[in-house]
Amino acid sequence: MGLKVAVVGATGAVGTEMLRILESRAFPLDELIPLASSRSAGRTISFQDRDVAVQELSLDVLRGVDLSLSAAGASVARGFVREAAAAGTVCIDKSSAFRMEPDVPLVIPEVNPEALGASPRIVAVPNCTTIVAMMALAPLHRAARLRSLVLSSYQAVSGAGRDGTRELAEQIEKLHDQVEELGHPDLDALPSGDVFGKTMAFNVLPKVDAFAADGSTGEEVKTVQESRKILGIDDLDVAATCVRVPVPVGHSVSLLARFTRAITPDEARELLVDAPGIEVRDDPVEGVYPSPLEAAGRDEVHVGRIRQAPGHDDSLLLFACGDNLRKGAALNGIQIAERLFSTVG
């Protein structure tokens, strides 16, 4: 018999991807319960060619649910996950609420499946940028042990949810016929959005999430802390700069990774070609290198531009792109569920 599965945040950007992925995989689902805030409750979503009513999230409605796949934000997650888990629902949560809790495994199935060992009731899905970076680095880390990491990101607007995509779309609509004039912009006339704070169209913003006291953003702190937890290296040396770019879907990372032994680009390519969930796109002279638009809608993380860092035989430069809504969130959560409910080896 199949599972009773709730998708929390079913009408959002990640929730929608969860529904599509559940439809396309042989997941042992018996009943789907789409949940959302009161604002979206009452709407219907389409699932396996049927219309299903969206219900308002509550602990009551989660009673008897085997699995909660949550695409909601941290404050919503804090309001129900611990209680639902205590009542017997396995909660896979993509928010940042529980990622750093010592009793909650933070899991990318291809990277650290061993963290799922003790049949946990709550499992956290890492941050989307961290997932893309760790997918590219873990196969190399296993072979040559990662010593330090410098990361600069190029993050899609859908990382800020449907509102992020909508804000970019509105600004593009307003500015699409002014591209050639934006070299001397009238800043006062440019749209400044509620989601991104400054004009996102035709711009890049070195700000993802809120600023902390030390000048880092929440996203940068997450990337550092989560990388350490996932790889199990408490003192991993990580420097991260997280930047939003006017791309709808697909996060990219520029990586400089230093290992504890020499490693060549050829060895790295061999390791990555054999790694699950990775597609090596690294034949630059033939135009084969990763870009986020090519990674959007795909399950694999694309890795390319693999080079020796000049003068350092223990260091590699890489560029990786992954669908932030899929492998960066929805797919990763469903892969965790597949492991927990033993539909994969």
Catalytic residue numbers, as ranges:
128, 251
Rule CB under 8 A: say whether 211 interacts with a copy of itself.
Answer: yes
For residue 8, what are the contacts with CB-CB under 8 A and spacing of at least 6?
Answer: 15, 35, 36, 57, 68, 69, 70, 71, 72, 76, 80
Rule CB under 8 A: say whether 294 interacts with a copy of itself.
Answer: yes
Q: If 0-12 CB within 10 Å is exposed, 13-18 middle and 19+ buried, where does residue 152 land?
A: middle
| Closest distance of CB 142 from a copy of itself, Å | 23
Rule CB under 8 A: say whether 150 interacts with a copy of itself.
Answer: yes
| Closest distance of CB 97 from a copy of itself, Å | 23
Nearer to a copy of itself, 307 or 339 (CB): 307
Pairing verdict, β 122-124 and 90-93: parallel
Rule CB under 8 A: say whether 262 interacts with a copy of itself.
Answer: no
Contact by Cβ (8 Å): 237, 228: no
Rule CB under 8 A: say whether 293 interacts with a copy of itself.
Answer: yes
Positions in 300-319 near a copy of itself (CB under 8 A):
304-312, 315, 317, 319
According to CB under 8 A, which one of 43, 152, 163, 218 is a site residue for a copy of itself?
152
Rule CB under 8 A: say whether 216 interacts with a copy of itself.
Answer: yes
Q: What is the 3-state secondary structure (H, E, C) of 47-83?
A: ECCEEEECEECCHHHHCCCCEEEECCCHHHHHCCHHH
Residue 157 CB-half CA count within 13 A: 28
Rule CB under 8 A: say whether 228 interacts with a copy of itself.
Answer: no
Let me know the angle formed at the C-alpha of 278 by 273 and 284, rounded to the nearest 5 degrees: 70
Nearer to a copy of itself, 78 or 207 (CB): 207
Rule CB under 8 A: say whether 86 interacts with a copy of itself.
Answer: no
According to CB under 8 A, which one of 90, 325, 334, 336 is a site residue for a copy of itself?
325
Nearer to a copy of itself, 28 or 191 (CB): 191
Structure tokens at 342: 């033993």
| Closest distance of CB 297 from a copy of itself, Å | 4
Rule CB under 8 A: say whether 252 interacts with a copy of itself.
Answer: yes
